[in-house]
Amino acid sequence: MENKLRFLYPLLSLVILLAGQFAGLPLLFLICMVPLFLIYLKKNESSEWIVSLTIVLLIGNSILGFVQDAWNLGIILYPLVLGITLYLNLITRKVLRGAMRSVIVVAFWLSAHYIVLKLNPSWALFFSFQSLAGDFTQWTDATGLMGITAWVVISNIIISKSLYTPDTKSLIRFSPSVLIALLIILIPAFISLFMSAKPSVGFTDMIQLYSGYSVDTIDSIYAQRGEWLARTSAWLSVLVLIYSLVKLKTTK
C-alpha cells in the first residue's frame, strides 16, 4: 500500500465520523470506517488498521469533548480499550478462516464496549455512533444500544468488502455489488421507520443501569437483559481467544 493511503484513509474516516456526529447526518456512520477496513482487508494480519482506528477515535473524542464541554477519561481510555481488544483479535485470525474472521471482529468490538461499561459507565459517553439512536434504530429495545454498534460495524465491513480490490492503488473498485451492499445495510433503518413506537431506551438509560442507579424509569425488559448483545459477544470472544491460543500451542 502506498504511504499516502496510510494517512489519507484514516483522515477520511475521521472527516466522515465528525460529519456524522456534528452535521446531523448519522447514517454516515454506516460508511465512516470503510477506509480503515480497506486497510484491514489489505493487511489483515497487521495491526496497522487498529492503530489508525485508535488515533481516529482519540481525535474524534477530543473534538467531541471540546464541543460539548464534557471531559472525562473515556476520551482516552475508550479508544485504548477498543484498540487493545482488537489487537487481541489478531491472535484469532491465525486460526479462523473466511467469514468467521469478520464475525469475530464484530464480537471483539462489542466486547470492548462491554468492558468499558463495566469499568466505568460514564466513559460510554464517548462511544462512537450513539447519535444514530432515534428514528433509524427503533429496534434497540430488543437488541440493546449495542445493537447500533453492531449494525454500524457490520455495515462498514460489508461496504468495504464490496469495494475492495487489491489490484488498484486506491484499493477500490465500484461495481453493482456496492449498490446491493448499500441496500442490505439500510434494511434495519427501513424496518425501524415502519415500527409504530419509538425506543424507550437511550444511552442515558444504559449509563444509569450500569452505574447502579434506580431503573424504575427504564424499560423493564431492558432492565432485565441489559446489553445482552455486548455481554454475549464478550463471552464468545473469550472462548474463541482461548480456542485460538490452545490450537496454536498444540499445532506447533
pLDDT of the residue at 85: 94
Q: Domain range spanning residue 205?
A: 3-250
pLDDT string in tens for the chain (252-residue length)? 556 677 888 999 999 999 988 888 888 899 999 999 988 888 767 788 899 999 999 999 898 888 877 788 888 999 999 999 999 999 998 888 878 888 999 999 999 999 999 998 888 888 888 777 777 888 887 888 899 999 999 999 999 888 887 766 667 777 777 788 888 888 888 888 887 666 567 787 788 888 877 666 666 677 778 889 999 999 999 999 999 999 888 876
- Which are the contacts of 232, defined by CB distance < 8 A and separation ≥ 6? none
- Which are the contacts of 229, defined by CB distance < 8 A and separation ≥ 6? 110, 143, 144, 146, 147, 150
Q: Read off the pLDDT of residues 187-216 as tens digits, 9 standing for 90 and up.
A: 888 888 887 666 567 787 788 888 877 666
Q: Read off the pLDDT of residues 64-90 as tens digits, 9 standing for 90 and up.
A: 888 877 788 888 999 999 999 999 999
DSSP for 106-120, please give it. HHHHHHHHHHHHHH-
Residue count (the chain): 252
Query: How many separate domains does the chain show?
Result: 1
Instruction: Name the pTM for this structure.
Output: 0.90
CA pair distance 99, 106, nearest whole angstrom? 11
